[in-house]
Amino acid sequence: QAFKIETTPESRYLAQIGDSVSLTCSTTGCESPFFSWRTQIDSPLNGKVTNEGTTSTLTMNPVSFGNEHSYLCTATCESRKLEKGIQVEIYSFPKDPEIHLSGPLEAGKPITVKCSVADVYPFDRLEIDLLKGDHLMKSQEFLEDADRKSLETKSLEVTFTPVIEDIGKVLVCRAKLHIDEMDSVPTVRQAVKELQVY
């Protein structure tokens, strides 16, 4: 039987910061393989390796920025050597957005609406929309911060002057994070606030 290697998941793993992640590497066609794990750029593994027979598991708990790498599993059987990689990608989007108003609502008086999303990553895949009823007031993307590896609060602000007709309308803050580049459907979280004009 030919010496073969396979990994679970096959090529990439999408993990939320704080989760526990296990990458598994297994072989067929070899009784007692020797396993080793490394990252593509030889940075620390930031994980724990357990070997059992023809399977090796790398566990990272909890996952953080230090785990955003391509991990390579090498299996050696006598003089034969096989290698396979898994790309670990991370994100953070744990909370619904929050809507804050700069003061009490009064018809005819300008007010600033702020919509914030906390502990989010990666920012360059985040989009925040603020709607009043069905009307889009503002949409914002955060492409400029793509290189920073940190959890941050991102927000947008809109100033408008409420009118009597706004009573009973809702403000909707919709945050969309395109977590998976391969998946065109973003993960959406939203907050809703009813406008009550005094």
Structure confidence at residue 198 (pLDDT):
62
Q: Does the global pTM surpass 0.75?
A: yes
Residue 193 scores a pLDDT above 70: yes
Residue 157 scores a pLDDT above 90: yes
Domain boundaries, the chain: 4-91, 98-194
Q: Which two tokens stand for residue 29?
A: 């066609």
Give the SS3 label for residue 56: strand
Q: Which DSSP category does 2 fall into? A: -
If you average pLDDT over residues 194-198, what whole number do you get?
Answer: 80
pLDDT (tens digit, 9 = 90+) per residue, 172-185? 999 999 987 777 77
β-pairing, 80-91 vs 12-16, is parallel
pLDDT-derived band at 59 (thresholds 50, 70, 90) equals very high
pLDDT-derived band at 1 (thresholds 50, 70, 90) equals confident
- The correct CATH number of 4-91 out of 3.40.50.2300, 2.60.40.10, 3.90.1150.140, 1.20.1090.10 is 2.60.40.10
pLDDT-derived band at 54 (thresholds 50, 70, 90) equals very high
Domain over 98-194 is classified CATH 3.40.630.30: no
- Among left, alpha and beta (phi > 0; psi -120 to 50; other), residue 90 is beta
Closest alpha carbon to 122 in 142, 99, 139: 142
Which phi and psi angles does 165 have, rounded to 5°? Answer: -65, -15
pLDDT-derived band at 7 (thresholds 50, 70, 90) equals very high
Contact present, 50 and 61 (Cβ < 8 Å): no
Output the DSSP codes for 169-182: -EEEEEEEE---TT
Which amino acid, residue 139? S
Rounded Cα–Cα distance for residues 76 and 5 (Å): 10
pLDDT (tens digit, 9 = 90+) per residue, 83-108? 999 999 999 999 999 999 999 989 99
Residue 189 scores a pLDDT above 70: yes
% of the chain beyond a pLDDT of 90:
81
